[in-house]
Amino acid sequence: MSIKVYYSHTPFWRAEVLRVSLFVGKVEFEDVRISRDEFIYLIKTGLLPNGKKVPFNQLPVIEVNGQIIGQTGGIARYCGKLSNLYPDDNMHAAKVDQIIDSATEITNLISPTIREKDVVKKNEARKQLTNKLLPRWFQYLENILEEEKSEWFVNNEMTIADIAIWRLLGWITSGMLDGIPKDIANNFPKLQNVYIKVHQHPKINEWMLKTYGKTI
């Protein structure tokens, strides 16, 4: 089987959940990093640098034996199944899906503030995120962990759900998002613990050092 993962050079959760799950599961794949100019061209034309068409003019996508598949949730589940990081049990699978979809919801709250050009409006939106919206969603996730009585989101084992939230939190608390404090997740200990456990996973440490030369 030939697998290629296409995304930019950033370790954003939408792509990293694919790359990391495949790496942890020892599934061979080609990690194709797209330049900024190539990304802009893809958005306009729907074409990868190799000329292949992507379904929705966006990334990430994966290519499996020449077939291109898009949408983070779908391809994360596919990679999770290949890597044994996605459950066979239907209820457990649905619980993983709700976390992946939650990561998308949180991203969709933040994304408009990245595109906002008006500084005053941007700062106000970031205050709303910091004081209300992000804590609300973090509490939802904290509650799920409490109900599970586990250090992981589903069935007391690491899945793609935990990997997605690890990188999502890494992004939000990185300091890259002006106006959102690095300690915004500190009041959510169970959520923080998921981040720490994934971050300290031996294979994930190996991935970070191999790929980025440091832990991220």
Q: What does the pLDDT look like over 124-176, one tens digit per residue?
A: 999 999 999 999 999 999 999 999 999 999 999 999 999 999 999 999 999 99
CA torsion, ordered 175, 208, 98, 43, to nearest 10 deg: 70
**In the chain, where are the structural domains located?**
3-84, 90-201
**Mean pLDDT, to the nearest integer, of 56-75?**
96
pLDDT tens-digit map of 69-78: 999 999 999 9
Strand order in the sheet with 3-8: 30-34, 3-8, 61-64, 67-70
Q: What is the pTM of this model?
A: 0.95
- 62-67 long-range contacts, Cβ below 8 Å, gap at least 24? 62/3, 62/4, 62/5, 62/6, 62/18, 63/2, 63/3, 63/4, 63/6, 64/1, 64/2, 64/3, 65/1, 65/2, 66/2
Q: What number does CATH give the domain 90-201?
A: 1.20.1050.10
Report whether CATH 3.40.30.10 matches the domain 3-84: yes
Measured distance CA(27)–CA(55) in Å, rounded: 24
Tell me if 3-84 shares its fold with 90-201: no
